[in-house]
């Protein structure tokens, strides 16, 4: 009988066959190194939509009702912002919104900058004579009124104007957050790929620059999702603004940790070399019979 043909060496399967569908474990992050760029973008888009959704919901549920209240408390006749200056019917400082607990947003009108208003809300907006001042835990910003900017601060006109534009402002906010996050994650992945490749090199793991870029992009997702959860807890009143700052610092630590741990789940160099070496000896499967011992006195198989 004809002897069986020699077995053909088959590529060694990856030791990490996890599909690239979730970037929340080191092994799952490493799987994106072998996946397509579109697969990575899809995962990033889902996380970006989650973060944008929490931000939009925060503005819609906590900030916009305060703006509605401020418009309802505008005096009659109202004022205006024209020619780079606030025009107000009287010169008395006035709070247009009530303080609640927790207080996410507070709006004050001070036409003559007569008082030094202490910050009592997470974000405080002050309409002053020639500028708009925004104050929060992060500091304060003063923005001068543009000379060509005109805005009527009258309840009868401002209420319908604001109501008709509110949905489009929310949509633009969500789309802008998604676009900025996707752009920033791409830049960070390109920069962090060298660190990932360095860890892979010293741990004897295989991975080119493109694969390390995809891994770095996926490693940013766990920390970003944690940041989204922090914003959600803040919107629900479960976390103060200082807690959001702590979550921000923690999400950086998580991202760096995944950048360091995930390369250890890449394929080993010797595994890749054995699978791609054309001169390697053919592997022997369990179905193949072992060669007969010529000194055993037994007849050879297949005779």
Rounded to two decimals, the pTM is: 0.79
Judge contact between 155 and 68, C-beta under 8 A: no
pLDDT by residue (tens digit) across 76-104? 777 888 888 888 888 777 888 887 777 89
Mean pLDDT of 279-299: 49
Q: What is the mean pLDDT of the chain?
A: 83
The interaxial angle of helices 209-235 and 241-261, nearest 10 deg, is: 160
Lateral strand order in the sheet of 79-82:
85-87, 79-82, 151-153
Task: Report in angstroms the alpha-carbon separations of 86 from 33, 89, 150, 152, 224.
Answer: 56, 10, 10, 10, 40
> In the numeric block, which tokens belong to residue 111?
């036409």
Residue 274 reports pLDDT greater than 70: no
Is residue 221 within 8 Å of 26, Cβ to Cβ?
Answer: no
Contacts of 85 (CB under 8 A, 6+ apart): 129, 130, 145
Average confidence (pLDDT) over 230-248 = 93
pLDDT at 8 over 80: no
The tens digit of pLDDT for each residue in 143-155 reads 998 888 888 888 8
| Contact residues for 235 (Cβ-Cβ < 8 A; gap 6+) | 54, 57, 58, 61, 62
Average pLDDT over residues 253-270: 90
Going by pLDDT thresholds of 50, 70 and 90, the confidence category of residue 115 is: low
Which residue do the tokens 């004897």 mark?
A: 204
Whole-angstrom CA distances from 275 to 27, 89, 268, 282, 283 are 21, 82, 11, 11, 11
Residue-wise pLDDT tens digits, 20-35: 788 899 999 999 999 9
* pLDDT for residue 16 is more than 60: no
What are 160-200's pLDDT values in tens digits? 999 999 999 999 999 999 999 999 999 999 999 999 999 99
Give dist(CA 157, CA 282) in Å, integer: 83
């Amino acid at each position: 009988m004809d002897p069986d043909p020699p077995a053909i060496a088959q590529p060694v399967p990856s030791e990490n066959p996890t599909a690239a569908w979730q970037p929340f474990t080191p092994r799952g992050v490493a799987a994106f190194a072998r996946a397509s760029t579109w697969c990575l973008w899809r995962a990033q888009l889902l996380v970006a939509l989650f973060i944008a959704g929490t931000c939009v919901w925060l503005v819609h549920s906590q900030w916009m009702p305060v703006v509605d209240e401020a418009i309802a408390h505008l005096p009659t006749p109202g004022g205006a912002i024209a020619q780079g200056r606030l025009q107000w019917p009287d010169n008395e400082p006035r709070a247009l919104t009530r303080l609640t607990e927790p207080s996410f947003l507070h709006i004050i009108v001070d036409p003559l900058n007569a008082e030094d208003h202490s910050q009592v809300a997470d974000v405080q907006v002050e309409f002053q004579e020639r500028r708009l001042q925004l104050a929060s835990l992060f500091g304060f910003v003063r923005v001068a009124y543009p000379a060509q900017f005109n805005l009527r601060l009258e309840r009868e006109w401002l209420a319908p104007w604001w109501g008709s534009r509110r949905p489009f402002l929310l949509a633009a906010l969500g789309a802008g957050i998604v676009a900025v996050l996707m752009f920033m994650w791409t830049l960070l992945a390109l920069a962090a790929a060298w660190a990932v490749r360095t860890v892979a090199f010293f741990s004897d793991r295989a991975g080119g620059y493109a694969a390390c870029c995809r891994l770095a992009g996926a490693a940013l997702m766990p920390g970003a999702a944690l940041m989204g959860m922090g914003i959600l807890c803040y919107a629900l009143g479960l976390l103060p603004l200082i807690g959001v700052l702590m979550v921000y610092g923690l999400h950086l630590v998580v991202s760096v940790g995944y950048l360091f741990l995930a390369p250890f789940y890449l394929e080993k160099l010797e595994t890749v070399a054995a699978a791609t070496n054309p001169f390697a000896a053919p592997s022997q499967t369990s179905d193949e019979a072992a060669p007969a011992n010529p000194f055993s006195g037994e007849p050879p198989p297949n005779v």
